[in-house]
């Protein structure tokens, strides 16, 4: 069962997007340096399709839904991706996961994916030394081919000018 703890509008999770970011609990990765260890627990409210629609409808002006986590209930998460895409075709979909690679069965409606566990010595996405990667589907940038589905590494969009 997918549960969420927080749903809030953010501007930094997905470059160039106003995102409704939903933090999902029961994370299976338990990264030692995790900044949200409370998300390791099975806590929060059940995130159903109806609840997701309610959250979206209450946040006018968003351009993206960003799911953070959900790996412990992957089939439910994929169903929410699909429901969101069908009901809100103009919204982009992003997923932050601690996995080390892009799942081959990831639904095509997902526009962005952040992969990799947080490692304090490497820093977060805004650090050029990060181990985490942020990919965008279908842009004309550095190409990564996962099962004939084009993903482009756009991690550098998080880096400030002092790193460029």
pLDDT tens digits, 4-54: 999 999 999 999 999 999 999 999 998 888 888 899 999 999 999 999 999
β-strands 45-46, 19-24 pairing: unpaired
The tally of CA atoms less than 13 A away on the side-chain side of residue 111 is 18
pLDDT at 114: 97
Q: Which sequence spans correspond to the domains of the chain?
A: 3-163
In this structure, how many other beta carbons lie within 10 angstroms of the beta carbon of residue 38?
13
Q: Of residues 58 and 34, which shows the higher confidence score?
A: 58
Residue 111 scores a pLDDT above 60? yes
DSSP secondary structure code for residue 130 in this structure: -
How far is 88 from 76, CA to CA, in rounded Å? 18
Residue 129 CA: distances (Å) to CA of 44, 134, 137, 154: 33, 13, 23, 14
In percent, the amount of the chain with pLDDT more than 70 equals: 91
Evaluate if residue 163 carries a pLDDT over 80: no
pLDDT at 14: 97
What pLDDT shows up at residue 126? 94
Task: Count the alpha carbons within 13 Å of 13 in the hemisphere toward its beta carbon.
Answer: 27
The pLDDT assigned to 36 comes to 86
Quick check: 117 pLDDT over 80? Answer: yes
CB 34 within 8 A of CB 116: no
Give me 139's structure tokens. 């842009």
Can you tell me the distance from the alpha carbon of 16 to that of 152, in angstroms, rounded to the nearest whole number? 16
pLDDT tens-digit series, residues 67-98: 999 999 999 999 999 999 999 999 999 999 99
What's the confidence (pLDDT) of residue 148?
A: 45
What CA–CA distances, in Å, run from 25 to 36, 76, 93?
A: 10, 13, 19
In Å, what is the CA distance from 107 to each residue of 29, 74, 128? Answer: 22, 11, 28
Quote the CATH superfamily of domain 3-163.
Aldolase class I (3.20.20.70)
Higher-pLDDT residue of 113 and 118 is 113
CB 94 within 8 A of CB 135: no
pTM over 0.85: yes
Q: How far is CA 61 from CA 56, 90, 108, 113, in A?
A: 9, 11, 24, 21
């Amino acid at each position: 069962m997918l549960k969420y703890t927080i749903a809030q509008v953010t501007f930094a999770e997905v470059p160039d997007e106003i995102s409704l970011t939903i933090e999902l609990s029961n994370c299976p990765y338990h990264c030692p340096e995790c900044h949200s260890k409370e998300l390791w627990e099975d806590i929060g409210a059940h995130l159903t399709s109806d609840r997701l629609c309610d959250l979206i409808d209450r946040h006018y002006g968003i351009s993206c839904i960003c799911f953070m986590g959900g790996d412990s209930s992957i089939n439910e998460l994929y169903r929410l991706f699909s429901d969101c895409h069908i009901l809100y075709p103009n919204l982009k979909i992003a997923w932050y996961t601690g996995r080390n690679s892009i799942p081959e069965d990831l639904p095509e409606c997902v526009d962005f994916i952040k992969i990799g566990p947080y490692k304090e010595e490497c820093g977060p996405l805004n650090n050029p030394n990060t181990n985490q990667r942020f990919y965008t589907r279908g842009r004309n940038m550095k190409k990564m081919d996962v099962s004939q589905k084009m993903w482009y590494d756009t991690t550098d969009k998080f880096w400030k000018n002092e790193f460029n």
